[in-house]
Amino acid sequence: MAQAQPGLHLFVDISAHGFGHLAQVAPVLNALGARLPALRLTVRSGLRSEHLRNRLAPDFTHITAASTSDVGYLMHGIRVDLDASAAAYRSLHAGWAARVAAEAAFLSALAPDLILSDVAYLPLAGAVQAGIPALALSSLNWADLFAHYFAGRPWAAQIHDEMLAAYNGAECFVRLTPGMPMSDLQRVRSVGPVAAIGEDCRAALRAQLGCATDQRLVLITFGGFSKRLPIESWPPIDGVHWLVHDAWQLAHASATAFEPLGRPFTDLLHSVDAVITKPGYGLFAEAGCNGTPVLYVRREDWPEQDCLIDWLALNGRCREIGERDLLAGRLAAPLAGLWRQPVPPQPGPVGAEEAATLLFSRLTAGS
């Protein structure tokens, strides 16, 4: 185990657009922390501290992010609110030079040795002005999504240029597998899948729930996005027990809230028989690497989802379901078909160590 040089300091900006960005970066930081146990880590994120600490093994200082750090996309459930998102980007880029200067001053005062962003571009622009090396890491970037949604609008070209300039100012963009092509970025370096691997708690989980050993457990979650399903009106499916969010406040004989069970999310994901979700990097990569079958509903006009679906179709068991069928609970046949699929070899989450090696090399260069 390598020892960090005294004073080495990494600043990490983690988007709060869902939970997938934390799921991407946490295994990388955990691998890096194992190599550099004395590393000082500062995390800026709009995610709650307890959620960060559930994923991050190293100790860190949490700076609660204002929305100006990272717009992402404003959502109605799992659908993009284009008008609200356009207004947020136009507000963020009004007086962009002054905003970048303020970010540079903030970063200069913090004085990290390296900046890592997943995947806000404001800290990358500020890092260039402050003279601090910076890297980006993600399966997507906001510039590509911005072009997808807003290209051709008269106000969009300058904003897109400023976004690309910020991303291209980074020393490297670490593109995770599966990931979007990112053809407009200049210094892309691809690594393998990044995912946390859970512990097998199947027997203990069924005992905790009072379920028979042959009962199927199906986890329903849409990451950090709210989408409550009307399970109360669903037709019953023999031998299936649903695990749902506590916030749904669901009283149902065939459903249990999973948060009060007190088990790490990746342990649950590893130990259930299927997960119902939307396409998103964190859940798709972790389901594939943990061997968990996925029943998914497509996100309306979300350009990242195709590369995620294509990857999981090759590396795991997955099946699409229409939103109407999902809302109506017509799930018996899709789940049965999902469980009949052949089980492929599980992909290894090798990207975490590959990305950690890049960060380690950059942090310790010249030491």
Chain segment 255-309, per-residue pLDDT in tens: 999 999 999 999 999 999 999 999 999 999 999 999 999 999 998 888 999 999 9
**Average pLDDT value for the chain:** 94
Residue 257: phi and psi, rounded to 5, are: -70, 130
Residue 228 lies in a domain: yes
Do both 14 and 120 map to the same domain? yes
What whole-number distance in Å separates Cα of residue 127 and Cα of residue 320? 41
CATH number, domain with residue 61: 3.40.50.2000
Residue 72 lies in a domain: yes
Element housing 220 (H / E): strand 216-220
Lowest mean pLDDT across 109-123, 238-252, 309-323: 238-252
What whole-number distance in Å separates Cα of residue 193 and Cα of residue 281? 10
Number of residues that this document lists for the chain: 367
Q: Helices 82-93 and 96-110 sit at what angle, rounded to 10 degrees?
A: 70
Do both 167 and 238 map to the same domain? no
pLDDT above 50 for 3: no
Q: Domain containing 64: what range?
A: 9-194+350-364
Residue 240, Cβ density class (10 Å: 0-12 exposed, 13-18 middle, ≥19 buried): middle
Domain total of the chain = 2
pLDDT score, position 68: 58
Do both 186 and 210 map to the same domain? no
Write b or e for each residue in 266-296: b if 16 or more Cβ atoms lie within 10 A of its Cβ, otherwise e: bbbbbbbbbbbbbbbbbbbbbbbbbbbbbbb
Q: How many helices (H) and strands (E) does the chain have?
A: 14, 15
Task: Tell me the per-residue pLDDT of 203-222, one tens digit each, with 9 for 90 and over.
Answer: 999 999 999 999 999 999 98
Residue 4 lies in a domain: no
This prediction's pTM: 0.93
